[in-house]
Amino acid sequence: MTDVNAALRRTRIGDRETAQGETERAVRRGAWPVAETPAGRTTGWWGMLLFICTEAAMFACFIASYYYLRFSTDGSWPPVSDKLPHRIVPGIGTGVLVLSCLPMFAAVRTSRKSRAVTFPLLVLVTLAGTTFVVLQAVDYMQEYPSSTPSKDAYGSLLFTLTGLHAFHVGIGVLMMLLVLGGQLARGFKKPQAGATRVMAMYWYFLAVLAVAIYITVYLTPYIM
C-alpha cells in the first residue's frame, strides 16, 4: 500500500493546469486505486468474455456439425437403432452442473463482503463440477460396448462432443482449485472478488453449454 499512498500524496487532483471539465475530474476522483467501487470492467472480465466467445463459437460449430451429419445420414440415428443413448446419468450430471450455478452466484454476491462465506460456496461449486466429470465417465462406461468413437460418425460425435465439454469442466475445476488455493494462501486478505466474478462467467457458460449438449446428444435421438 505504501506506493499507493506515496502516489496519492503527490497527486494533484483538480490541478488548474490539467482541468478538463467537471466530468473528467469527477471520474478521476472516483477512479483512483482507493476508490469505494471499481469503475468499469476489468481487462480480466473482457478477457474471459472473449474467451467464452471463441469457445462458444467452437461448440456452436460442433453442435451444428452434429446436426449436419445427423441430417445427412439416411436411415436411423443412432445407426444401431435400438441403442439409444442413456439419458439418466448424463441428465443428473447436467442437472448438478446447472444447479451449481446457484452457489456460484451467491459466491459472487458475497465475495466483496465476506470471504468466509464465499469459500465454502466455491468448494460446493468445485464438488459439483467434479461430480459432473465423474458422471460423464460413468456414462461412457454405459455407452461403450454399443457405440465407440471409431465405430461410426455417431459414436465419434457422441464421445468427442461430450468429452470436449467434460474436459472444459475439468479445466474449470482446476481453475476453481487455483482460486480456492489463492484464498487459502492469502489468508482471505487479498481481494479475490475479481477472480470469483470472472470464474463465475466461465461456470455459467459451462452450465448453459451442458444443457445444449445434453439436449443435442442425449435427447434428440429420442424425438427425431
Partner 1 sequence: MTQLTPPRTGTDADIETLSTVADSLEASTRYDVLPERGAAEATVGAALDAEWEEEPGLWGFITTVNHKRIGRRYLVTAGFFFMLAGINALVMRTQLAGPNNSIISPEIYDQLFTMHGTMMIFFFATPFNSGFGNFFLPLMIGTRDMAFPRLNALSYWIFLFSGIFMFTGEAMRVAPDAGWFAYVPLSNEYSPQLNLDFYSLGLLFLAVSSTVGAMNLVITFLKMRAPGMSLNRVPPFVWGIVTQSFMLVFALPPLDLANLMLFLDRRLGMRFFDTAKGGDAVLWQHLFWLFGHPDVYIIVLPAMGIVSSIIPTFSRRSILAYPYVVLATVATGIISFGVWVHHMFAVGLSDVSLTFFSAATLTISVPAGIQMFAWLGTMWRGRVVLSPAMLYAMSFIITFVIGGVTGVMFAVVPFDQQVTDSYFVVAHFHYVLFGGAVMPMLGGLFYWWPKLTGRMTSHKGGVISAVLIFVGFQVTFFPMHIQGLLGMPRRIYTYPAGYGWGTYNLIETIGAYVLAFGFLWTLFVFAQSLLSGPVAPDDPWGGNTLEWATGSPPKAYNFPVIPTVHSLNPLWDGRTLQSMVDHRHDDQRTMTEVHRTLRTSELDGRIERVMSMPGETVQPLLVAAFLTMTVCFLLADIMLAAAVAVGLMGLVIAWWMWNRPEIDEPAP
List residues near partner 1 by CB under 8 A.
3, 6-7, 10-12, 15, 17-18, 20, 23-24, 27-28, 31-35, 37-44, 46-47, 50-51, 53-55, 57-58, 60-62, 65, 68-69, 72-73, 79, 112, 149-157, 160, 174-175, 178, 181-182, 190-195, 198
Q: How far is the CB of 111 from partner 1 (least distance, A)?
A: 10
Show the cell assigned to 20. 478538463
Closer to partner 1 by Cβ: residue 44 or 120 = 44
Determine the distance from the C-alpha atom of residue 164 to the mean position of all C-alpha atoms in its chain, rounded to a whole number: 14
Q: How far is the CB of 190 from partner 1 (least distance, A)?
A: 8
Cα 131 to Cα 114: distance, rounded to the nearest angstrom: 27
Closer to partner 1 by Cβ: residue 98 or 122 = 122
Amino acid at 201: M
Cα 98-140-162 angle, rounded to 5 deg: 50
Closer to partner 1 by Cβ: residue 74 or 223 = 74
Q: How far is the CB of 88 from partner 1 (least distance, A)?
A: 26
Give me the sign of the Cα torsion angle 118, 124, 125, 126.
positive
Q: How far is the CB of 79 from partner 1 (least distance, A)?
A: 6
**Residue burial 35-54, b: 16+ Cβ < 10 Å; e: rest:** eeeeeeeeeeeeebeeebee
Exposed/middle/buried for residue 15 (C-beta within 10 Å: 0-12, 13-18, 19+)? exposed
Show the cell assigned to 195. 477472480
Q: How far is the CB of 172 from partner 1 (least distance, A)?
A: 13
Reply yes or no: is the peptide bond before residue 78 cis, omega within 30 of 0.
yes
Closer to partner 1 by Cβ: residue 94 or 111 = 111
Q: How far is the CB of 95 from partner 1 (least distance, A)?
A: 27
Closer to partner 1 by Cβ: residue 99 or 110 = 110
Closer to partner 1 by Cβ: residue 15 or 82 = 15
